[in-house]
Amino acid sequence: MRSRQQRRGGGDHLSSFVSVAAILWVVLPVAAAKAFDYKDALSKSLLYFEAQRSGRLPYGQRVTWRGHSGLTDGLQQGVDLVGGYYDAGDHVKFGLPMAFTITMLSWSVIEYGDEIAAAGEYHHALEAIKWGTDYFIKAHTHPYVLWAEVGDGDTDHYCWQRPEDMTTPRQAYKIDTENPGSDVAGETAAAMAAASIVFRKSDKHYSHLLLHHAQRLFEFADKYRGKYDSSIREARSYYPSWSGYEDELLWAAMWLHKATGTPQYMEYVVSNGEGFGGTGWAMTEFSWDAKYAGIQILASKLLSVGNFSAAQKRVLKQYESKGEHYICACLNKNNGSNLHRTPGGMLFVRQWNNMQYVSSAAFLLTAYSDYLEEAGRDVLRCPAGAVRPQELVALATSQVDYILGANPMGISYLVGYGRRYAMRVHHRGSSIVSYKSSNGFIGCMQGYYDWYGRRGQNPNVVTGALVGGPDSHDRFRDHRGNYMQTEACTYNTAPLVGVLAKLHQQKSHQHLQEVTASSSLSYLEFA
């Protein structure tokens, strides 16, 4: 991983190959329409989070090439910060993207818990969430203190080591009343509020504990306002808060309303809608940094189930309008402000790690399609024409299928899925022989000398990782040093969990209908 602020362009050395591939893509549409095993993809996606675990791994750890790591995190500061997730291919624990990952995993379970359970993955989904929320409980050591980062990108990137061999400094960084961070505190509050809904049935005590932390964190975020990257400068080059903290405050309040039903949180969303940009910003992306589209979709869904005053409904309708701008932009149905698409059909926002925007768009499209049907709305009226709910699901499906291999390169960008996938992921633990196979210490620079530059595939498959993916012309270079395309992040995979579960359920239902119809036809012929 390199600085998230860099936006360098890629080379053109694959132009000729991709041109031929694009022609074949047009000539051979049947290849693009092949059936995908969404259940298998779902299982692999949840497995990825086990590869990203920091701390003392549990007995039931399924990713066996990983071992314990970061066991002294927080020791220097006198606090227990063991656990949590590494965000990508390095070993820094960045609080903002980690919290967004848990929010999206929780939202997936809230929306599609039955479908995840039907696929046999409900327990694994809850385990993935709890690994994050357990860490957040530790990191929230005082009502107005949150430890928001362990390690720093500059020193971490100097070394190429397995997490089990880490020799880089594990300095921990916090926000407090004098050094605020409303964005990271707000996102962590959102994550814990959403997770409290998930655990409400299975573990009421844990659910209450999460909600308590969420409420205190929101109070902290709102009372002591400021951007976290002004307090933790080490985060600026990696996860800068470009969108500010206002979206996270609205996001947290929205999730707290869903978790508690308390009027104060909805009133906060309504009264701050204009001032914080919730009813003003018309976005074409949804990410760890920019939450507005997610807030607006949540507001839309609340309209169909909540009992609100006329004044509140008017503001929520304004949120809904901006949320529909995002949906219409994905569908290419706005007049002018649409998401770019590659020749192969992938939604494209920017060159670096574009797949994060693809997976988050697929989730919001799927969730909004469900909302339209639940609300009895047959069509969504976009500026450039009306669309039916099924068209939203169709676009979401096309994006998932592109990820899984229906693309001009014919490669799966979900590692470990299919016969051909990214083999040289920019990931330290994956690219170096497992310590269980070779437990000799690998030093800071030794990893660069002996492993980073190898042309062969990674010795350990980081199954379920969604890599950054191709450029705006569908070109992808599977090279370990090509971190803009071959690095995976937890927040890339998290939104896929719900979508894959939904698509698996939909496919199973269609198959059952086909079998039933075929059986009925056979019976009639026999009769």
pLDDT tens profile 244-256: 999 999 999 999 9
Q: Tell me, yes or no, if 426 is annotated catalytic.
A: yes
Q: Tell me, yes or no, if 115 is annotated catalytic.
A: no
Q: Tell me, yes or no, if 487 is annotated catalytic.
A: yes
Q: Tell me, yes or no, if 87 is annotated catalytic.
A: no
Q: How far apart are CA 121 and CA 294, in angstroms?
A: 25
pLDDT(524) > 60: no
Amino acid at residue number 508: S
* Packing angle of the helix pair 490-526, 389-404 (nearest 10 deg): 110
pLDDT(29) > 80: no
- Give the closest residue to 190 by CA, choosing from 241, 239, 259, 264: 259
pLDDT(429) > 70: yes
Q: How far apart are CA 402 and CA 413, in angstroms?
A: 8
- What is the reported pTM? 0.92
Q: How far apart are CA 70 and CA 67, in angstroms?
A: 10
Q: What is the pLDDT of residues 108-127, one digit of tens each?
A: 999 999 999 999 999 999 99
Of these residues, 426, 427, 473, 504, which one is catalytic? 426
Q: What average pLDDT does this structure show over 282-289?
A: 95
Of these residues, 121, 156, 487, 504, which one is catalytic? 487
Of these residues, 50, 73, 90, 229, which one is catalytic? 90
Q: What average pLDDT does this structure show over 286-303?
A: 95
Report pLDDT for 507: 86
Q: Which helix (H) or strand (E) holds 341?
A: strand 340-341
